[in-house]
Structure 1
């Protein structure tokens, strides 16, 4: 295995190990860093779509100017790749009458002479895209093919991360519901024992007290379990 092949293997392995990153932004920053190292381009901006479908840029340090990042998410090859779910082939950043005039002006002023973009596709959806910028006008075709392969690996890692987060959120919600039910049953048992009433009646008493006094039911239940009595009326 050549040094180049080893670097590529390590890059794909790194993109699949996404759980070590604390946030999606951290993961996508690592994705962008991988692009700059593997493709040897001067600029890589990972653009991801939030729940509101707004695009957000993530890039390695040092970051480009805020104006350039805003243009990347406003009208650029990255936006075209995201919306079309297709790669945007390398384009020279010299024609101000081109499709992304604001982006071209800012990118050219920052020293970039060519740009391309690939979508982050997973199954039937597009999670974002990656913008690539080069300081020379030459942008070899093999680089775009490799960029697409890296984008597929990154999209898979990002989707896996989101699926895991959804499972964690669901389990946390279910665990909270179970804990509230257990607390309610404990409080109803305490109240039924103290007042010599049926458990079903004790549950109704707890609900009525919470509603009448504008208190969360779980707070009332916790008070009853701790003090073996309903809270004093305010």
Structure 2
């Protein structure tokens, strides 16, 4: 099963290289595939913008996203160190004393996580962010799992940079900035959808993703339509209800 998931993961990530792609959706795909393939409970991605500041661009859960936002706000923590040093960082336990990042560790523990593993997203000498893996249980991941995680991060980095972007840093900055602006639109659309359909934020986001995939639209395009009120809300409601039904336990 692991081998099949791994093969499917690299096929999906490699497919993104053949044409223009939605960077935000690509990062969420990477986070989701990490959870499905590796022995982790959540995953998140930090990417650097054109100002050299790290931003949260993808996550598999709101808990992971909020934890990474906390780290960026305090400008210190394992994920940021991973990016700055371009080296993997492992926190095998958030309860072991002493802690290098006591505030971050306390918040991570309160969020229900026991350990974290961060691997750099880099190509040659260029590091663009960090892939962060969270586990509920304490303890380090096995070396084979960490190697797979690094390989996934490497493939994703190639997908972002591509050959022409490596020699044109302005193009890279523009692409990442566009992705970050799209992330703002998506967060706004999640709030609009959650209020209109009376659903939680996670369901709102999955509704946007499913609608975008089923219509072959960019996620950011769907978000713009939701904010502008030009989208078919009846169809979005049906998508949300279908997801809710799929999550209900069978009698």
What TM-score bracket applies, with the shorter chain setting the length? 0.5 to 0.7
Residue 7 (1) aligns with residue 8 (2): no
Deviation at 1:76, TM superposition (A): 2.0
1:108 and 1:161 mapped to 2: Cα distance?
Answer: 40
Deviation at 1:66, TM superposition (A): 6.2
Q: Structure 1 unaligned runs (5+)?
A: 170-234
1:101 and 1:125 mapped to 2: Cα distance?
Answer: 30
After superposition, where does 1:36-51 map in structure 2 within 5 Å? 36-51=35-50
1:118 and 1:31 mapped to 2: Cα distance?
Answer: 13
Specify the alignment match of 1:71 in structure 2.
70
1:15 and 1:102 mapped to 2: Cα distance?
Answer: 35
After superposition, where does 1:53-72 map in structure 2 within 5 Å? 53-64=52-63, 67-72=66-71
How does the TM-score come out when normalised to structure 2? Answer: 0.59
2:32 and 2:108 mapped to 1: Cα distance?
Answer: 19
- Give the direction of change, closer, same or farther, for the CA distance of 1:10–1:156 in structure 2 (3 Å limit): same
Whether the 8 Å CA contact 1:16–1:153 is kept in 2: the answer is: yes
Superposed CA offset, 1:52-72 (max 9, x none): 111111334541276523223
Structure (1 or 2) with the greater helix fraction:
2
Q: Structure 2 unaligned runs (5+)?
A: 172-251
Residues matched between the structures, number:
165
- Give the direction of change, closer, same or farther, for the CA distance of 1:100–1:162 in structure 2 (3 Å limit): farther
Whether the 8 Å CA contact 1:33–1:44 is kept in 2: the answer is: yes
Superposed CA offset, 1:42-96 (max 9, x none): 1211110011111111334541276523223332221111111111134211146
Q: Kindly report structure 1 stretches of 4+ aligned residues shifted beyond 4 Å.
A: 19-22
2:68 and 2:4 mapped to 1: Cα distance?
Answer: 32
- Give the direction of change, closer, same or farther, for the CA distance of 1:66–1:145 in structure 2 (3 Å limit): closer
2:61 and 2:153 mapped to 1: Cα distance?
Answer: 22
After superposition, where does 1:27-38 map in structure 2 within 5 Å? 27-38=26-37
How does the TM-score come out when normalised to structure 1? Answer: 0.63
2:77 and 2:36 mapped to 1: Cα distance?
Answer: 22
Supply the RMSD in Å over aligned alpha carbons: 2.6
